[in-house]
Amino acid sequence: MLALAMPHGHEILDGDTRADADGGDAAPDAWQRAAVNAMLFYVESIPEDVQDRLNRLSPFFRLAHSAATLNSYWANHCEHCGTLLGDHELHCEPDGAFMPSNEAAAANIQLQQIQEPFEAVAAGYAFEPEFFGFVRKS
């Protein structure tokens, strides 16, 4: 299985619109540097070069439509039957593949850095995943 993790210092687009001094809307989009590590999930789009790299790592991580979310996102699939493995169970449930509840489980996660320009549209963003420091780097 694959997941997308962002390092400390990545940038996020703050899409919140705030009122300016005159009560009107201020500029809604501002890039801000994040002082945290983060995991992305429910990822709707990623650059083609990154798609190619991920596909070489696992053909079971691909764009697919989800009946549960009623849209498409990059998801893991069962290597035997092809069933979509939902991001909620993998990223949001305790002891999910990417939400370990102890150091030993976190040690089963391996980080691999991809040196490609990266921009994503993601509905899920988990900052400072617990036990992130215990994840192995390759």
For 80-137, what is each residue's pLDDT tens digit? Answer: 999 999 999 999 999 999 999 888 888 888 888 888 888 999 999 998 887 777 666 7
Specify the higher pLDDT residue, 62 or 111. Answer: 62
| Segments forming the whole domain that contains residue 121 | 4-137
Q: Which pLDDT band holds residue 22 (cuts at 50, 70, 90)?
A: low
What would the DSSP string read from start to end of the chain? ---EEE-TT-EEEE----B-TTSSB--S-EEEE-SS-EEEEEEEE--HHHHHHHHHH-TTEEEEEETTTTEEEEEEE-TTT--EE-HIIIIISTTBTTB-SSHHHHTT-EE----S----EEEEEEES-TTGGGSEE-
Q: How many domains does the chain have?
A: 1
